[in-house]
Structure 1
Amino acid sequence: MAFWGNRQKALEAKLESGKADIGERGAVTSGTNMDGFVALMIDIVEANGLAHAEIHRTKGVLTLPGFFRPTKLWDILVINKGRLVAAIEMKSHVGPSFSNNANNRAEEAIGTAHDFWTAYREGAFGMDTPRPFIGWLVMVEDAHRSRRPPKGRKAKAHFPMFPEFVGASYLERYDILCQKLVRENLYGATCALSSPREAVDTGDYADLSELTGIRSFVSAFAGHIAAEAARG
């Protein structure tokens, strides 16, 4: 409800100011869409023993050093006594276009994790720092276009794609991506949720699988926070 409500408020504000972006971009550029999820993560940190930790959520203090690039901007950073405890990135994907944007999301998620862990290996966050938690969450619109498989290319590919992607819808592909990001140990947890626009009134949503569901994400994140709290 918060996601769709914030999105609608942002679009209305843009229209009232006379600075509306083309199409639905005005609902995206406000930067408030994921605030409900941000609030949830903050609650988890505070409820699991790190209420005294620094929880950063404003742009000026959300950058971390990278290895292949100078810095990376995250959505939430948790720092305790100078130690990086957790970094979380949150994305959303609302239609009408799903094809190019889905690939871009995948490339960003993979690249971000690889850059982070290389920087960690090289001591960017301190040489004796325990392994931080990094998480990736995406909220995808549940719509006809996201539920249907992409149209196949007429040209014959040089090599076949992995079978799990054949005939998979965009929602299913997001789930596959998130599962693989965890299984390849790129993220401590990932989450792929789907929700229709009508959820602004109902709050309806669906997990795409148990591994990438919100409960699994919250459990992994809460466990890491509790472990850090136990260190003192």
Structure 2
Amino acid sequence: MLQDENPPMNGPSVSQTPPSSPAQLLERARALAGYSLGELATLAGVAIPRDLRRDKGWVGMLLELYLGASAGSKPEQDFPDLGIELKTIPIDAAGKPLETTFVCVAPLTGNSGITWESSHVRHKLQCVLWVPVEGERAIPLAERRVGAPLLWRPDEEEEERLRRDWEELMDMIVLGKVERITARHGEVMQIRPKAANSRALTEAVGERGEPIMTLPRGFYLKKNFTAAILARHFLI
């Protein structure tokens, strides 16, 4: 999954233009494999944070510079013209995910008539460029290397599992049970609070249909799901 040789420092270049095809995007991502985050940051003239506690999106932002992502913080795929989302995934020495993967913010109001087919989750996951990155804390951030990429579309079984979890979780939100949802709900996808602090509240629906204030929530893919994707592709 990770290239062992030190790649030449005159390798990848920061790309200003979005990729014109999935093949070109995959080619750009493959050119990054084996480089350390420090090497890529230096080539791009980007400052390296001490750690990721206050800069959780830094790795993704760095790779977007090389891959030509255009969406920024807009609520669409990172490569909207290609319908592809970029997801970096921290892995351990055995190639297994170290944490869950954020998909998108969970809508807590205005959900009448929404279906899996029209959901933001399905839109985000219809095609994903997974880029594994060494993530063990013992490795300094600058020395962590980028792995070989994987372009993934959910097969019928994967989509069905995602759909079942989405419908269960959205039913709980619509029925006013958002505060009863725990990380144990869902087989392959979960909903968890997503907020910088406990004062960042948003509106939701209570169990009697009344408006309540609660922490924002996000959809996350569980590690068992992403581990299976990586294992199947890389034959781990």
Q: Same fold (TM over 0.5)?
A: no
| Shorter-chain TM band | under 0.3
Tell me the TM-score normalised to structure 1 length: 0.28
Higher-helix-fraction structure = 1
